[in-house]
Structure 1
Amino acid sequence: FELQQPQDKESVTAGQTLTLTCTVSGNGPPGPVRWLKGSGGGNETIYDQTGSYPRVTRAMSGSNTDFTIHIRDVQPEDAGTYYCVKFRKSLFSDVVFQSGTGTEVSIRAKPTHPVVSGPDHRVRPGQSVSFTCTAGGFFPEDIRVKWLRNEALILVQQPHITPGSTKSSYDMSSTVVVALQKDDVCSRLVCEVQHPTLKAPLREVYELSKALRVPPSIHVVVDPPRPVEVNETVSFTCAVKGFYPGDVAVTWLENGMEMKVENNSQSMEPCGLFELRNLVEVQATAEKNGSVFTCRVVHDGQEPVSEMATLGIAAPAGDGLWDPSQMENGVNLLYSPALWLGILLEKGLLGGLLFFLFKR
């Protein structure tokens, strides 16, 4: 009797069908031929003629000499050493009569699609942030990872590889540290994974804008900028520029008291950064002279920032306040030479008259 198991090693890709070859010749004792995975007391029956094995079929059903089998939809956990074994019937149980040399099976498994994770909160420009790329369930362990920032290669260490969740599979993680800048609201970070089972690399994109917070600049413009007449309309425009993300709330205060202003904001996004203009119009009254108007901005849930402007009202003549009509060609009338000459002449004439009366 001779049992032949010619395959020493077999390697297949997960999801494919594995074929294990076994043939016998000559006369042997009564007893079944079975396929076992593993040896010794820890073996597992993969196939025999009497059991039910949904994924396993015989290549030559009913043959007494060809016990080749097909195992469909193999997975990484199917990796191991398989033995074709001839058993001999005995009084209480079957005993091993002859065993094949064994076929060592490895399952090539593709890595899962990579996942890139970033910080759990946004950071300001100039700060450095770690990003991690993970993939798992692959075999063999030979795997390469590339990081790209806007398609420019970033040099990093080789990925960290650990045993996977199933036997004969591996997981990996790779980390890169990136110093974020304001312009990165338009940047993309790419993790590219290469493995022998892949025809083309797997790529995962992380938008750096998800990790970035660019605070706004604020400027209040008053129109008209000069002191205005009573009952004239004055416009205060709050220009909020260069911020990201676009979550922003604008509030106007008059002398510290919140104003009721209609929502007339206009938001723009040139080159990835947001801009916003918010307008409030005020009718100038004498009571509002010197009033302080504050534009308060809350960006992305952060502490408020603000900018102030003061309303100046030109008082009419006779009010005892500054009056533009008292200025003629930029010269104050109190400082006119003609005025002082008249005063001196008046004093001289009065003195001469008194002297004449005294002499009489």
Structure 2
Amino acid sequence: MTLVLKAMALTCLVLLLLQNAPGVGAQMYPDFKLQQPQSSVVVIKGDTLTLNCTLSGSGPVGAVKWVKGSGSDNQTVYEQKGSFPRVMRAVSAPSNDFTIRISNVSLEDAGTYYCVKFRKGIVDDVVFRKGGGTEVSVHARPSVPVVSGPSHRAVPGQSVPFTCSAKEFSPRDIKVKWLKNSTLVRAEPPHITPELSNSSYRMSSTVQVKLSEDDVRSELTCKVQHRTLAAPLRKTYALHQALRVPPSVSVVAAPSGAVEVNKTVNFTCRVQGFYPGAVTVSWLENGTVMNAGSSTQPTETSRGLFELNDTVTVQAGEEKSGSRFTCLVVHEDQEPISGTGILRVTAPALGENNEGLIGDSSDILLSSPGLWLGLLLDKALLAVILFFLFKRILP
């Protein structure tokens, strides 16, 4: 009896060993097929990845799993038992369709995936059939580009740098174009570097732009093209953010030219063609600060620049002739820009303000004893002359 039991145990062991031997499974289940049709798949970061696998024919008892990688370091991605939060079967069990979907794909999900049929072994499950593998490439769309300009405003004629940057894209290849309004601006190829935290990349592109007064209403656009995008990403920078146009300053007097004593003169400071539209205006009389003038609000011109007038009123006293009235304009915390007007005062014309010298002559005589004495002496001299003339004539 003991010999019979030993023989039966030995027979079972031999059968198990034969079942686990290479090639025996295929002979035992000749109609079994495992189909993993996708050799490669490209998926965008954040999207859902679908991996196809179907079984047909009869096969041994054992699980079907999806694994990532091969050899001893492979990783189980999905099996019927266990929890895999991002992975689910496309078709509910029971079914011979073991297609799975992986949601919210990340760059770390890139790799080669295998659909594997196992069969029960003596100790552990043994690989019975393995698919050819699906190589998964994960691409990442670039972030919305960011355009940065100079830290300080520049004046017309200066050439200043602008930088466009984007990050977290994959694969590495990326194209950048710059447009000023609708005109292409030449730029160097973008500088591309790998991200430290994952398998993506970041890039920066810099362009030099020479500013002009008319750029108050100009736009600079960065266009980023990547294979993951159906249309380029665009980011626009308004050049007025980087531009400072200094004002021109002049002082005009009304009335112009020399004025008579005690007349009123308006000195107007014309501040023109500046941007941004905030200035501070002050007045000096011969270097001494005056009371504030009467200022208008800055008005925008058709070119997008600003202008304003500031007026100070002066009484033209004789002592003020030759006085200098200076308008000081401060724009964007820069050094003041000035304009100066000079007051010219003249004496009044003859005949004006002399009404006391025009009137009845008798009033003048009565009020002037010196005139009476002069008249009497004149008459006495005339009488003496006439007396001597008559004396000569008469015998």
Do these two structures clear the TM 0.5 threshold for a shared fold by scoring above it?
Answer: yes
Deviating more after overlay: 118-127 vs 162-171: 162-171
Q: Does 1:11 align with 2:42?
A: yes
Q: Which amino acid is the alignment partner of residue 21 of structure 1?
A: N
User: Which residue in the other structure is 1:158 paired with?
Assistant: 189
Counterpart Cα distance in 1 of 2:121 and 2:260? 118
Counterpart Cα distance in 1 of 2:276 and 2:75? 58
Alignment equivalent of 2:203, drawn from 166, 172, 179: 172
User: Which residue in the other structure is 1:238 paired with?
Assistant: 269
Flag the 1:35–1:166 CA change in 2: closer, same or farther, 3 A. farther
Secondary structure of the structure 2 residue equivalent to 1:281: strand
Counterpart Cα distance in 1 of 2:74 and 2:271? 72
Flag the 1:288–1:39 CA change in 2: closer, same or farther, 3 A. farther
Deviating more after overlay: 59-68 vs 292-301: 59-68
User: Which residue in the other structure is 1:264 paired with?
Assistant: 295
Q: What CA deviation, in whole Å up to 9, does each residue of 1:37-64 have, x standing for no partner?
A: 3345554432222222222111232236
Secondary structure of the structure 1 residue equivalent to 2:273: strand
Q: What CA deviation, in whole Å up to 9, does each residue of 1:139-185 have, x standing for no partner?
A: 33333221111201123233223324664433222221111122222
What does 1:229-308 align with in structure 2 at a 5 Å threshold? 229-270=260-301, 271-308=303-340
Secondary structure of the structure 2 residue equivalent to 1:172: strand
Counterpart Cα distance in 1 of 2:238 and 2:158? 16
Secondary structure of the structure 2 residue equivalent to 1:54: coil
TM-score (norm 1): 0.79
User: Which residue in the other structure is 1:57 paired with?
Assistant: 88
Counterpart Cα distance in 2 of 1:133 and 1:16? 27
Counterpart Cα distance in 2 of 1:57 and 1:6? 19
Secondary structure of the structure 2 residue equivalent to 1:308: strand
Alignment equivalent of 2:222, drawn from 191, 195, 209: 191
Alignment equivalent of 1:310, drawn from 342, 349, 353: 342
Secondary structure of the structure 2 residue equivalent to 1:60: coil
Q: What CA deviation, in whole Å up to 9, does each residue of 1:116-161 have, x standing for no partner?
A: 1111111121111111111223333333221111201123233223
User: Which residue in the other structure is 1:84 paired with?
Assistant: 115
CA radius of gyration, larger in: 2
Alignment equivalent of 1:214, drawn from 245, 270, 273: 245
Q: Does 1:20 align with 2:39?
A: no
Q: Which amino acid is the alignment partner of residue 342 of structure 2?
A: T
Secondary structure of the structure 1 residue equivalent to 2:260: coil
User: Which residue in the other structure is 2:165 paired with?
Assistant: 134
Deviating more after overlay: 157-166 vs 204-213: 157-166
Counterpart Cα distance in 1 of 2:113 and 2:221? 41
Q: Which amino acid is the alignment partner of residue 242 of structure 2?
A: A
TM-score (norm 2): 0.72
The answer to whether the 8 A contact 1:76-1:166 is kept is no
Q: Does 1:69 align with 2:100?
A: yes
Counterpart Cα distance in 2 of 1:24 and 1:306? 89
Q: Which amino acid is the alignment partner of residue 5 of structure 1?
A: Q
- Please state how far the C-alpha of 1:101 moved relative to its aligned partner: 3.0
Q: Which amino acid is the alignment partner of residue 48 of structure 2?
A: T
- Please state how far the C-alpha of 1:99 moved relative to its aligned partner: 3.9
The answer to whether the 8 A contact 1:137-1:165 is kept is no
Flag the 1:315–1:104 CA change in 2: closer, same or farther, 3 A. same
Counterpart Cα distance in 1 of 2:143 and 2:241? 23
The answer to whether the 8 A contact 2:262-2:315 is kept is yes
Secondary structure of the structure 2 residue equivalent to 1:272: coil
Secondary structure of the structure 2 residue equivalent to 1:210: helix
Flag the 1:44–1:166 CA change in 2: closer, same or farther, 3 A. farther
User: Which residue in the other structure is 2:380 paired with?
Assistant: none
Counterpart Cα distance in 1 of 2:284 and 2:209? 40
- Please state how far the C-alpha of 1:236 moved relative to its aligned partner: 0.6
Counterpart Cα distance in 1 of 2:284 and 2:350? 33
Counterpart Cα distance in 2 of 1:158 and 1:149? 17
Counterpart Cα distance in 2 of 1:233 and 1:240? 23
Counterpart Cα distance in 2 of 1:80 and 1:4? 19
The answer to whether the 8 A contact 1:21-1:69 is kept is yes
The answer to whether the 8 A contact 1:79-1:167 is kept is no
Counterpart Cα distance in 2 of 1:288 and 1:13? 81
Q: Which amino acid is the alignment partner of residue 114 of structure 1?
A: P
Greater helix share, structure number: 2
The answer to whether the 8 A contact 1:77-1:167 is kept is yes
Deviating more after overlay: 231-240 vs 44-53: 44-53
Counterpart Cα distance in 1 of 2:323 and 2:229? 70
What does 1:198-209 align with in structure 2 at a 5 Å threshold? 198-209=229-240
Secondary structure of the structure 1 residue equivalent to 2:241: helix
User: Which residue in the other structure is 2:257 paired with?
Assistant: 226
Counterpart Cα distance in 1 of 2:148 and 2:125? 55
Structure 2 residue ranges without an equivalent (≥5): 1-24, 26-32, 352-395
- Superposed CA RMSD in Å reads 2.7
